[in-house]
Chains A and B, each alone.
Chain A
């Protein structure tokens, strides 16, 4: 066992883990942050996406130890009290979910897309950039709509440069 410490959702978090412990298992089992899901084991489905130092990563393909000292943000860290993050609000309002299993990863990726582009990119770009997040229930229509609406709410009036 090795000790690991990081900041998770703004709070210090530490624990004793095996080197093979994945970040997702550290979040789910050690910290009981079960909003981050595991949908596959081959880094495709994106249900496990969290932000590490501001970048979207698949927490099923990241060792907890690789995140020593990192700043980790999960779905549970987005809302400010009762106030949903604009992207959460957009997914809720636009019916961008059915079974909900992919939703946390989808939202974390969506925020990353908006952050990276400094605004809302065009729909084609959004769809391309959502390739790492699988949803089996919807046809992604409302998800894309929600990303656009959430992105606009995150940074009103800011379309992406490209």
Chain B
């Protein structure tokens, strides 16, 4: 790891100011993406801004029709939250299956989505639930937030402060974890909410994406059987040391059906 300047602001304003200074400033949330990346020298920031002492970024709050989760809330806290478990159990279940206990203790919601790893779990939940990403500057719809592999709509000096998840009528998540890293080789989040049915796929492509054909089919008949025969084109999917594009395409179908099952069972 190359050395850097370390900052530990106690307020968001201070953090935003720090982001505007220095050549290559990176935000450190839980550190479970940034630090391994820096250890491999795939990132060499000049400055690191540690958000862990900013109280405003933490916590889970239930509002009318939504659950608001602070960006610096750990996966473990999301998984254990009564509010999340009661109102969006699929989201709690998703958080409970990220990485391993130590990763869940440190890794955060904001860190995950700001990094937008193509194999991360949270982007699928954000997109399928139609979440709103609240930042230090604005509110961004999930549909607009995830741009491309490791790329989001965030400006350089913009910090995710919380994510508002509308409470769906029902939702389910199923993932095929990479056996080694436990990132999603393929993960599908299916949700039925105020604006209909959304199905979002992570892990399979360069960036989380929706499958309109599945959404339409589920709109007619919210059941696993409705998805039979719907194939995702392997053309644009990832092929790497862990899986071929064909296998991923196949898994998207299987995971989507399982996500629907989970939604029907309310888990």
Q: Do chains A and B touch in the complex (CB under 8 A)?
A: yes
A residues in contact (CB < 8 Å) with B? 2, 18-20, 22, 41-44, 46, 49, 55-58, 61-63, 65-66, 68, 109, 112-113, 116, 129, 131-133
- Complex contacts, A63 vs chain B, CB 8 Å: 6, 28, 31, 35, 50
In whole angstroms, how far apart are the Cα atoms of A132 and B182 in the complex? 10
Binary contact readout B48-69 vs A (1 if CB under 8 angstroms, 0 otherwise): 1010100000000000000000
B3 to chain A, nearest CB (A): 5
- The answer to whether A132 and B35 touch (CB under 8 A), given A44-B180, A65-B8, A68-B8, is no
- Complex contacts, A22 vs chain B, CB 8 Å: 35
- The answer to whether A61 and B35 touch (CB under 8 A), given A19-B5, A44-B180, is yes
In whole angstroms, how far apart are the Cα atoms of A62 and B103 in the complex? 11
A142 to chain B, nearest CB (A): 20
Residues of chain B at interface, number, CB under 8 A: 29
- Complex contacts, A2 vs chain B, CB 8 Å: 6
- Complex contacts, A56 vs chain B, CB 8 Å: 101-102, 105
- Complex contacts, B36 vs chain A, CB 8 Å: 41-43, 61
Binary contact readout B133-144 vs A (1 if CB under 8 angstroms, 0 otherwise): 000000000000
User: What 5 pairs across the A-B complex have the smallest Cβ distances?
Assistant: A132-B100, A19-B6, A20-B1, A131-B100, A58-B102
**Are B101 and A113 interface neighbours, CB within 8 A?**
yes
- Complex contacts, A109 vs chain B, CB 8 Å: 101-102
B7 to chain A, nearest CB (A): 9
| Least CB separation from A55: chain B residue | B105
Q: Does B181 contact A (CB under 8 A)?
A: yes
In whole angstroms, how far apart are the Cα atoms of A41 and B99 in the complex? 15
In whole angstroms, how far apart are the Cα atoms of A56 and B103 in the complex? 9
Q: Does B4 contact A (CB under 8 A)?
A: yes
Binary contact readout B170-205 vs A (1 if CB under 8 angstroms, 0 otherwise): 000000000011100000000000000000000000
A28 to chain B, nearest CB (A): 16
- Complex contacts, B180 vs chain A, CB 8 Å: 44
Q: List 29 A-B contacts (CB under 8 A).
A: A18-B3, A19-B5, A20-B1, A20-B2, A42-B36, A43-B35, A43-B36, A44-B180, A46-B102, A49-B102, A56-B101, A57-B106, A58-B103, A61-B32, A61-B36, A62-B31, A62-B35, A62-B106, A63-B28, A63-B50, A65-B8, A66-B28, A66-B50, A109-B101, A116-B101, A131-B182, A132-B100, A132-B101, A132-B103
**Are B3 and A132 interface neighbours, CB within 8 A?**
no
B110 to chain A, nearest CB (A): 16
